[in-house]
């Protein structure tokens, strides 16, 4: 009975949070809580049935085996993906994230067993710090993933009166494939929203970078017209240099033309969750839809977005890091006392 009540409370909180704002990161953590308590409740129900203990034993074994295999496969996948990124993309810190994350996951188990092998007091503190740090980052990342999946289902049918397209680098004044994917997603969203006969404008937003010979917004606007969008429905914004400026200037331009909120913003799928959070932080009634991205590019790009999301609430993570440091110091002191 208690488990059912706890699960019900998590469900109520999740529904209330979703009604308040579907862009909030906490929705992902609430979804995890709902699933965890629901599985626990299901396990208790199964245990009450004939043969239930045997079923739960096998189910626990399968879940444990799946978790172990997943933890073994994930770092290998990240390392392979990181090497692919090195071959295909520029060797920037952002593009190396999947490789670095995979290597860190491969090294972590050796650090954890260091106290047993080296029998040095300081290794106890290091092992505790690695375990707790990994657990904190893993839980936070899992919440981010859960919110991404939850939000993606909603935004596919979200209402809007206008669409903003986030700009990215144009090459020789032309739209490259990554940006074309955003524009294609924007035109598809506008077509869906126009199904009732409404005219839904599209705002291609982006200024001119130092290595560009024309504003991104202008190049994107030409692409939209060339691909069948009426020139009257294309409102070019050619000043923005950041995501926040894309959102702010794009919303202002739509408002100037008498287009009321809510709006959609089109970007790539790895960037959509953070773009939605940016819009929420700015107090804008904007939701983000994501365009497909090359499979090899997604892991590093998504990890980069996760790092950016961590930076949104630095105080929370500083407090967590301080707690981990205290635990590591205590473990070191206990290690010294035990020697």
CB-based contacts of 15: which residues, under 8 Å, 6+ apart?
none
Tokens 């739960």 found at: 56
Whole-number Å distance between alpha carbons of 169 and 212:
7
pLDDT tens sequence across 125-139: 888 999 999 999 999
Whole-number Å distance between alpha carbons of 91 and 308:
19
Question: Mean pLDDT for the chain?
Answer: 91
Residues 303 and 99: beta-carbon distance below 8 Å: no
Q: What is the pTM of this model?
A: 0.90
Helices (H), the chain: 2-20, 26-47, 52-88, 97-112, 114-118, 121-155, 177-193, 216-226, 243-256, 272-281, 298-310, 314-338
pLDDT tens sequence across 172-226: 888 999 999 999 999 999 999 998 788 899 999 999 988 788 999 999 999 999 9
- Say whether the peptide bond before residue 262 is cis (omega within 30 degrees of 0): yes
DSSP characters over 75-137: HHHHHHHHHHHHHHS---TGGGHHHHHHHHHHHHHHHHTHHHHH--HHHHHHHHHHHHHHHHH
pLDDT value, residue 182:
96
**Domains of the chain (ranges, CATH numbers):** 2-154 (no CATH), 159-293 (3.40.50.620)
- For residue 20, give both structure tokens: 């308040």
CA-based nearest residue to 329, from 56, 52, 122: 122
pLDDT value, residue 282:
95
The count of other CB atoms within 10 Å of the CB of residue 55 is 14
């Amino acid at each position: 009975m208690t488990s059912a009540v706890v699960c019900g409370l998590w469900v109520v909180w999740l529904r209330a949070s979703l009604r308040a704002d579907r862009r909030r990161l906490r929705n992902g953590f609430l979804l995890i809580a709902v699933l965890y308590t629901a599985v626990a409740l299901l396990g208790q129900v199964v245990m009450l049935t004939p043969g239930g203990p045997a079923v739960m034993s096998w189910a626990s074994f399968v879940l444990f085996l799946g978790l172990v295999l997943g933890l073994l496969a994930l770092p290998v996948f990240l390392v392979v993906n990181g090497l692919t990124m090195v071959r295909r993309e520029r060797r920037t810190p952002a593009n190396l994230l999947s490789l670095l994350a995979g290597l860190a996951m491969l090294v972590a188990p050796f650090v954890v067993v260091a106290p047993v092998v080296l029998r040095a007091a300081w290794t106890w503190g290091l092992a505790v710090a690695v375990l707790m740090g990994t657990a904190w980052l893993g839980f936070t990342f899992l919440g981010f993933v859960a919110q991404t999946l939850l939000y993606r289902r909603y935004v596919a049918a979200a209402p809007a009166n206008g669409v903003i397209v986030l700009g990215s680098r144009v090459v020789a004044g032309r739209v490259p494939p990554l940006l074309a994917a955003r524009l294609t997603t924007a035109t598809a969203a506008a077509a869906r929203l126009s199904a009732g006969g409404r005219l839904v404008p599209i705002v291609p937003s982006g200024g001119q970078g130092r290595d560009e010979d024309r504003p991104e917004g202008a190049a994107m606007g030409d692409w939209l017209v060339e691909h069948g969008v009426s020139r009257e429905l294309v409102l070019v914004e050619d000043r923005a240099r950041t995501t926040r400026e894309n959102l702010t200037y794009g919303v202002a331009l739509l408002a100037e033309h008498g287009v009321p909120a809510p709006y959609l913003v089109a970007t790539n799928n790895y960037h959509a969750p953070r773009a939605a959070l940016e819009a929420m932080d700015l107090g804008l009634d904007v939701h983000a839809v994501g365009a497909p991205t090359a499979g090899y590019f997604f892991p590093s790009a998504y990890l980069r977005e996760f790092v950016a999301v961590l930076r949104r609430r630095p105080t929370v993570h500083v407090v967590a890091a301080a707690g981990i440091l205290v635990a590591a110091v205590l473990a070191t002191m206990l290690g010294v006392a035990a020697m």
